[in-house]
Structure 1
């Protein structure tokens, strides 16, 4: 028997015993499981890279299961998670900070400097190297699936989408990689642009279309074009929405109305939705009701939004930048949190680590006193929205793709970064070594 963080048994069949797992992520839960603070005590049988059985945990493991002697890995009460799902990232922007910073930390500073860097530097070689660097980070941290936005303007359409397709194929079996286009809603009024983006998504994409939605005079007309494009091509939709603290920004309501107007049957995901949190209570309630009716899911990006929103020089920010996530969830809207940007002008930090996102999201959004199922927000729920419902769960017959930690409860889990976690893919521990930033120095116009 092994204890602590000894090596995972080198066997096609072994037990992980003495684990705790969020009950909301177990598909075979029964009254036999002991549950504390939303964490169920479980034992898992791993066979040939899959979870063969999930049973109520037996502590201490003084006897073998069903009279069979197998290899054991005793987690000693540690929290076990499925590999996680990051539904809103920007791999193509990642890691440009050393060559293109945000001079004032504002949203417009980010927008202007990413645009300048894109025009100057985003060749296929540059985009591929940075995207692959981000994928290696996410994989090492325990991400199973992610959706990345791809900047889709002008020449970049023909540069980035083929790179995305190549990386998706190369990373198959390691990370499920989806992509959706990103461009300002005003470009939906440009027929040539819409044809080019639609062609790229049909050729290289995953059946997801989207844009950045904000208040322009022609918003409803532009949204009608986007929805018609999605319906004609069988696309789902993914929007960046109202990334501002201006209460006059209500494009989320317009998106909901467009979905209802078009009787849209596909999935719709709305990211950010920051201005929803600064609406008058009656306006917030009205918008949330329309979002629920339209079947729109919402993802909050807590770390990036807290970094950018309400930033003014020499002034302490007055709000955290996040959307009304508790209210959305209470209304029955599917809600998630995700990484967003990584070491670029929109967010100078981050490492595509969903354990960090869950930890910081819990603090920023005060999730810790509002139910015990928030792990769904980085696992079960985004997997469902991505169309990969088997991911982000513990299920008999499902893949043995797991994150093992030494933390025995949520306070231990959130108090430390869990840098000593073990990640299993198909039941085997992966190399969690992170890529060195120096690998990108040749792209940053500086000597190594």
Structure 2
């Protein structure tokens, strides 16, 4: 729905005047910034692309945003679209990680098929599109050979959504599944689908130093190198300080001289380790060129949960320390309305707002705005996404909020989204659409 404060259509050549843009999202441009890191600019859109980015006062006519903010469309670098919206039929019984895992296994065994996955997957894409996301990397449960249905749906929807959402996929299964022929077949499917090789580690005590674990990890890296695949890994999603597979992955990447990008998600246990041990691992990640993506809402929901006991930690990793060491850090939606997270709507402004609050990304706000746009775009390899610069597509999100505190105080439900310089009239899908698939609440 188009907000009342903005025109319902724009001419093919128009100026947006007096817009505030986070400096971290500007491409190849320096401009004076205020204490919150916002630059006041005029921006010209011509034929669906950004033609000019100039200091405020350059344009003599156009639409005056009155210092409202302008961001590029978001990049959501870690989601699970094949699980989405399953909460009504398979809720998490106790809100724990083990409860989520068991619920998903049960749900997958009973219901998952192309006919079940596709409408839920598409529903998630429509939510993201309406909120202003232009690129997504989704993980797909990939227990071979049952994973064929997940990858078939991905390929269809990737093609159907081309031009609206750029879509990537990562296989997701325990590392042990890559030991035999099924692992080879899955890696071949990923390569044939233009995907990313992924896995998850269980994180039990001593796993990371086990020779058997290291052999499996090298086998996994072999499969990726033979096919030229990037990696995206679920690691150490636990509050157990003895879970240290991130360290093993970084050491393996360094020893092998692995060249393709590696993104690691969660790595929650790092926050429970001693400062010296954690900082040593962060240093290895920096040397190996790893990128970190954190899932603040989902991990805060799952981690540290015990019935009748107030949680003692927030479930997130050491994002400030990673950034200080030069490791790119992004935030993402992760699970939405499935057993791993009962809430969420693929709204990256919500993700950013909650990340600021949970991880204290303020005082100053600095360049953390890039963590939901420019950084995941670079980490995932989405060209022309996540930044504002001359020649980039005019895929933009406009807010009435003038300052960061105004932006983060409200849900920004009256945001305006431009795609190719045109005002997007996209309505969020009604959850009732899912009743026939997952049942009514």
After TM superposition, the score normalised by the length of structure 2 is 0.95
Superposition map of 1:11-90 within 5 A: 11-31=11-31, 33-58=32-57, 64-65=59-60, 72-90=62-80
Cα distance, 1:260 vs. partner?
1.0
- Structure 1's consecutive aligned runs of 4 or more residues displaced over 4 angstroms after TM superposition are none
Alignment deviations for residues 317-357 of structure 1 (CA, whole Å, 9 cap, x no partner): 00000000000100111111110000000000000000000
1:162 is matched with 152
Cα distance, 1:35 vs. partner?
3.4
Q: Aligned partners of 2:346 and 2:365: how far apart in 1? A: 25
Residues 91, 148 of structure 1: 8 Å contact kept: yes
Higher mean alpha-carbon deviation, 438-447 vs 296-305, is at: 438-447
| Cα 1:371/1:330, change in 2 over 3 Å | farther
| Cα 1:239/1:229, change in 2 over 3 Å | same
Q: Secondary structure at the match of 2:139?
A: strand
| Unaligned runs of at least 5 residues, structure 2 | none
| Cα 1:134/1:330, change in 2 over 3 Å | same
1:193 is matched with 182
Q: Aligned partners of 1:221 and 1:261: how far apart in 2? A: 14
Residues 157, 200 of structure 1: 8 Å contact kept: no
1:283 is matched with 277
Cα distance, 1:443 vs. partner?
1.0
RMSD: 1.5
Cα distance, 1:9 vs. partner?
4.4
Residues 45, 53 of structure 1: 8 Å contact kept: yes
2:227 maps to 1:233? yes
2:193 is matched with 204
1:425 is matched with 419
Q: Aligned partners of 1:388 and 1:282: how far apart in 2? A: 35
Cα distance, 1:213 vs. partner?
2.1
Alignment deviations for residues 30-88 of structure 1 (CA, whole Å, 9 cap, x no partner): 35x45341000011100000000001112xxxx854xxxx6x22111111100010000
Count of aligned pairs: 433
Cα distance, 1:446 vs. partner?
4.8
Superposition map of 1:206-285 within 5 A: 206=195, 208-215=196-203, 216=207, 217=210, 218-285=212-279
Cα distance, 1:371 vs. partner?
4.5
Residues 209, 235 of structure 1: 8 Å contact kept: yes
Q: Aligned partners of 2:269 and 2:59: how far apart in 1? A: 55
Residues 8, 73 of structure 1: 8 Å contact kept: no
Alignment deviations for residues 399-447 of structure 1 (CA, whole Å, 9 cap, x no partner): 0000000100000000000000000000011123100011111112459
1:404 is matched with 398
Q: Aligned partners of 1:97 and 1:420: how far apart in 2? A: 28
Q: Aligned partners of 2:142 and 2:55: how far apart in 1? A: 49
Q: Aligned partners of 1:205 and 1:96: how far apart in 2? A: 27
After TM superposition, the score normalised by the length of structure 1 is 0.94
Residues 17, 59 of structure 2: 8 Å contact kept: no
